[in-house]
Amino acid sequence: MNFPFYVALLFLLNGCGQYSIRNIDKPPPEDYETWKKPSNSQLDIKKALLGCGAIAPSTLGWPYRKAYEKVGLIEQKEQFNHDFLVDRCMLNADFLQQNISWTLQDACADSRYRDYSACHPDAIIPTPSVERRLNSWYCKVKTDYDYCLKNALAPQLCNPEKIKTPPAECLANGQTQSPISQTNSSTQIKPRTNTYIPPDRMQQQTIQLQRDTQNQNNRQMNNMLKSTAPKILR
């Protein structure tokens, strides 16, 4: 008996996840693609999601749930409850869910989730906030190099140049360019470098620098003596 096959089949038939078995051949839509609102572009939807508290506007998937841990949401229940609050925020802002077979209403009717605080009628629902959007995990990773090094899922991909041109959903209203690229070059914060120099190489570089400095001083002293010496001695 092919035990792994039956386990996988049971997983699918049990309805785990948002999508039914008929959709397993196509990737799930991005988070911003599961919402719509008349006269709103994809950029508007991404901003609304982040403003409602979404970790990111795109689908991170189960392998990347650690992004939630970066902002203090450790337990799975906390993560789900957070997502439900984001959904309620979006619904209150007149967005409609689409392209999914399992909505917030379905989740809160499910015995596994109906007791979550986000499903209660008296739950405190966030409202879209520009400050919340700009300080989201996603936007801070895109705009703050030091934060990216400490909190990105793949810190090795952090690039100090990319933060100068963050995605549009991470810009303040009316802003078309990163604050870093707008500042005077003399006041820009220089990104830290992580280049490792072995101690023996560092010592060699120090000795060579001392020699170069001494040679330069000797040349300057000789030139000064030549320029000030009496003509008869020249």
Amino acid at 227: S
Phi, psi dihedral angles at 171 (to 5 degrees): -105, 150
CA diameter of the chain: 108
Q: List, in order, residues 6 or more apart from 54 with CB less than 8 Å away.
A: 31, 86, 136, 138
Output the pTM of the full model.
0.65
Residues 170 and 134 sit within 8 Å (Cβ to Cβ): yes
Asked if residues 34 and 98 have their Cβ atoms less than 8 Å apart, the reply is yes
End-to-end Cα separation, the chain, in angstroms: 103
Per-residue pLDDT tens digits of the chain, which is 234 residues long: 444 444 343 433 343 344 333 344 567 788 999 999 999 999 999 999 999 999 999 876 655 688 899 999 999 999 999 999 999 999 999 999 998 888 999 999 999 999 999 999 999 999 999 999 999 999 999 999 999 999 999 999 999 999 999 999 999 987 766 444 443 333 343 433 333 344 444 455 555 555 665 666 566 666 655 555 554 444
